Amino acid sequence: MERTDILSKVIDIVNDVLGVDPQDISEETTFDDIDADSLDRLQLVTAMEDEFDVEIPDERLEAIGSVYDAVEAIEAALEA
């Protein structure tokens, strides 16, 4: 799966879960930028794992603080 496809799906998930306008989300967007609290982040990661049919290791979860980090974690999980 291409990185651009992963990014597009992650942006869609952020929109679906948090209601953030997709035009306001880029790879550089942090979850702090969009006021995502810890519960929001958990919901985002769960939705991403479901969408991509992957499991992101717990130690990697703690490092996900932006859309970029999420895309990187998904790419790594898809390659595993």
Residues 44-64: tens digit of each pLDDT: 999 999 999 999 988 888 899
The residue-averaged pLDDT of 55-76 equals 92
Residues 13-30: tens digit of each pLDDT: 999 999 999 999 999 999
**In a 10 Å sphere around its CB, with 0-12 CB exposed, 13-18 middle and 19+ buried, how is residue 70 labelled?**
buried
Q: What angle do CA 54, 47, 50 make, to 5 degrees?
A: 35
DSSP annotation of 31 reads T
- Minimal CA–CA distance to 33: which of 3, 61, 68? 68
Phi first, then psi, for residue 7 (nearest 5°) are -60, -45
Residues noted as catalytic: 37
> What is the set of domains in the chain, with CATH numbers?
3-79 (1.10.1200.10)
Residues of the chain with pLDDT > 90, as a percent, come to 88
Residue type (1 letter), 71: V
pTM, to two decimals: 0.93
**What is the per-residue pLDDT for 43?**
95
**What is the per-residue pLDDT for 62?**
85
